[in-house]
Amino acid sequence: MLRTLEGGIARKRRAATNDKLACLIALERKVLWLSTWMIHNANHLRPNRDGLKVGGHQASSSSVATLMTALYFDVLRPQDRVAVKPHASPVFHAIQYLLGHQTRDKLERFRGFGGAQSYPSRSKDGETVDFSTGSVGLGVGITLFASLAQDYLRLKRLVPTDDPPGRMVALAGDAELDEGNIFEALLEGWKHDVRNLWWVIDYNRQSLDAVVSDRLFGRIDAMFEMMGWRVVTLKYGRLLEAAFARPDGHHLREWIDACPNSLYSALVYKGGEGWREHLHRDLNRYPGIRAILDDHDDAGLQRLMTNLAGHDMDSVLAAFHAVEDDRPTCFIAYTIKGYGLPFAGHKDNHAGLMNLDQMASFRRNMAVPDGSEWEPFAGLELPAKRLAKFLESVPLAGSQPRRHDAAAVAVPGNLPVPRGTRQSTQEAFGRLLGDIAASETALAERIVTTSPDVTVSTNLGPWVNRRGIFDRAERADTFREEHVVSAQRWAMSPQGQHIELGIAESNLFLQLAALGLAGPLFGTRLLPIGTLYDPFIKRGQDALNYACYQDARFILVATPSGITLAPEGGAHQSVGEPLTGLAQPGLTSFEPAYADELAVLLRWAFEEIQREEGQSVYFRLSTRPIDQPQRQVEPNLAEAIVAGAYWLREPGPAAELAIAYCGAVAPEAVAAHQMVAEDSPEAGLLAITSPDRLHRDWLATRARGATGVAGRLLARLRPGAALVTVGDFHPATLSWLGAVAGNAIVPLGVDRFGQSGDIPDLYRAYGIDTEAILDAAARACLAALRGSP
Ligand X SMILES: Cc1ncc(C[n+]2csc(CCOP(=O)(O)OP(=O)(O)O)c2C)c(N)n1
> What is the C-alpha separation between 218 and 214, in angstroms, rounded?
9
Rounded Cα distance between 528 and 540, Å, is 17
Closer Cβ to Mg ion, 86 or 272, answer by number: 86
Task: Name the residue nearer to Mg ion (CB basis): 171 or 380.
Answer: 171
- Beta-ladder partners of 329: 198, 230
Options 74, 176, 500, 577; binder of ligand X; rule CB under 6 A: 176
Asked if 276 is part of the footprint of ligand X (rule: CB under 6 A), the reply reads no
Q: Considering only residues 86-105, where is the footprint of ligand X by CB under 6 A?
A: 86-87
For residue 244, count other CB atoms closer than 10 A to its CB: 17
Shortest distance in whole angstroms from residue 67 CB to ligand X: 11
Query: For residue 723, how far is the Cα from the chain centroid?
Result: 40
Instruction: Select the residue whose beta carbon is closest to ligand X and give its number.
Output: 173
Binding span for ligand X by CB under 6 A among 80-88, 90-98, 631-639, 704-712: 80-88
Instruction: List the one residue from 118, 206, 450, 622 that touches ligand X (CB under 6 A).
Output: 206
Residues 6+ apart with CB under 8 A from 409: 442, 443, 446, 525, 527, 606, 610
Residue 60, contacted partner among ligand X, Mg ion, none, CB below 5-8 A by kind = ligand X
**311 binds ligand X, rule: CB under 6 A:** no
Q: Among ligand X, Mg ion, none, what does residue 176 contact (CB within 5–8 Å per kind)?
A: ligand X
Name which of 173 and 644 has its Cβ closer to ligand X.
Answer: 173
- Least Cβ distance, residue 542 to ligand X (angstroms): 7
Q: Decide if residue 184 touches ligand X (CB under 6 A).
A: no
- Out of 27, 98, 142, 175, the only residue in the binding site for ligand X (CB under 6 A) is 175
Of 65 and 544, which CB lies nearer to Mg ion in the complex structure?
65
Q: Measured from the CB atom, is 136 or 526 closer to ligand X?
A: 136
The secondary structure of residue 685, as a DSSP letter, is: E
Partner interacting with residue 465 (select from Mg ion, ligand X, none; CB below 5-8 Å by kind): none
Q: Which residues are at the interface with Mg ion (CB under 5 A)?
A: 173-175, 204, 206
Q: Which stretch binds ligand X (CB under 6 A): 16-24, 200-208, 285-293, 773-781?
A: 200-208
Nearer to Mg ion, 296 or 350 (CB): 350
Tell me the one-letter amino acid at 275.
W
Instruction: Give me the least distance between CB of 174 and Mg ion, in Å please.
Output: 4
Query: What residue type is assigned to position 164 of the chain?
Result: P
Residues 451, 509: contact at Cβ < 8 Å? no
- 108 contact choice in Mg ion, ligand X, none (CB below 5 to 8 Å, kind-dependent): none
- Tell me the C-alpha distance between 573 and 617, whole Å: 21
Distance CA 599, CA 689 (A): 12
Q: Which is nearer to Mg ion, 175 or 491 (CB)?
A: 175
Longest pairwise C-alpha distance within the chain: 110
Task: Phi first, then psi: give them for residue 634, nearest 5 degrees.
Answer: -75, 160
Residues 120-139 contacting ligand X, CB under 6 A: 135-136
- 405-434 residues near ligand X, rule: CB under 6 A: none
Among the residue ranges 79-87, 300-308, 367-375, 393-401, the one whose residues contact ligand X (CB under 6 A) = 79-87
Taking Cα atoms as reference points, which of 600, 770, 522 lies closest to residue 670?
770
Answer whether 70's CB lies under 8 Å from 316's CB: yes
Residue window 39-68: x/- pattern of binding to ligand X, with contact defined by CB under 6 A: ---------------------x--x-----
Helices (H) then strands (E): counts for the chain? 34, 20
Among positions 120, 139, 173, 684, the unique one binding ligand X when judged by CB under 6 A: 173
CB neighbour list of residue 376: distance below 8 Å, 6 or more residues apart:
30, 97, 98, 384, 387, 388
Q: Between residues 171 and 710, which has the closer beta carbon with respect to ligand X? A: 171
Residues 6+ apart with CB under 8 A from 107: 34, 38, 41, 93, 94, 97, 115, 116, 374
Between 195 and 337, name the residue whose CB sits nearer to ligand X.
337
Can you say how many angstroms the Cα of residue 490 is from the centroid of all Cα atoms in its chain? Answer: 29
User: How near is the Cβ of 155 to ligand X at its closest, in Å?
Assistant: 33
Q: Within positions 340 to 369, which residues make up the interface with ligand X, using CB under 6 A? A: 350
Q: How far is the CB of 207 from Mg ion (least distance, A)?
A: 5
The torsion angles phi and psi of 336, rounded to 5 degrees, stand at -125, 125
Q: Label residue 335 exposed, middle or buried (CB < 10 Å: 0-12, 13-18, 19+).
A: buried
Instruction: Count residues near ligand X (CB under 6 A).
Output: 18
Q: Which of 132, 204, 588, 622 binds ligand X (CB under 6 A)?
A: 204
Kindly state the smallest distance separating residue 234's Cβ from Mg ion, in Å: 15
**CA dist., res. 592 & res. 643, Å (int):** 12
Residue selected from 101, 337, 716, 730 as contacting ligand X according to rule CB under 6 A: 337
Transcribe 80-120 into DSSP letters.
-EEEE-GGGHHHHHHHHHHTTSS-HHHHHTTTSTTSS-SS-
Cis peptide bond upstream of 160, omega within 30:
no
Q: Which is nearer to ligand X, 207 or 261 (CB)?
A: 207
Q: Given the complex with ligand X, which of 135 and 262 has the nearer CB atom?
A: 135
Q: Which does 111 bind (CB under 5 to 8 A by kind): Mg ion, ligand X, none?
A: none
Residue 332 engages ligand X in binding (rule: CB under 6 A):
no
Q: How many CB atoms lie under 10 A from the CB of residue 81?
A: 24
* Binding segment toward ligand X, per CB under 6 A, in 102-110, 172-180, 231-239, 280-288: 172-180
Q: Which stretch binds ligand X (CB under 6 A): 174-182, 297-305, 485-493, 620-628?
A: 174-182
Q: Is 205 left (phi over 0), alpha (psi -120 to 50) or beta?
A: left
Q: Which residues bind ligand X (CB under 6 A)?
A: 60, 63, 85-87, 135-136, 173-176, 202, 204, 206-208, 337, 350
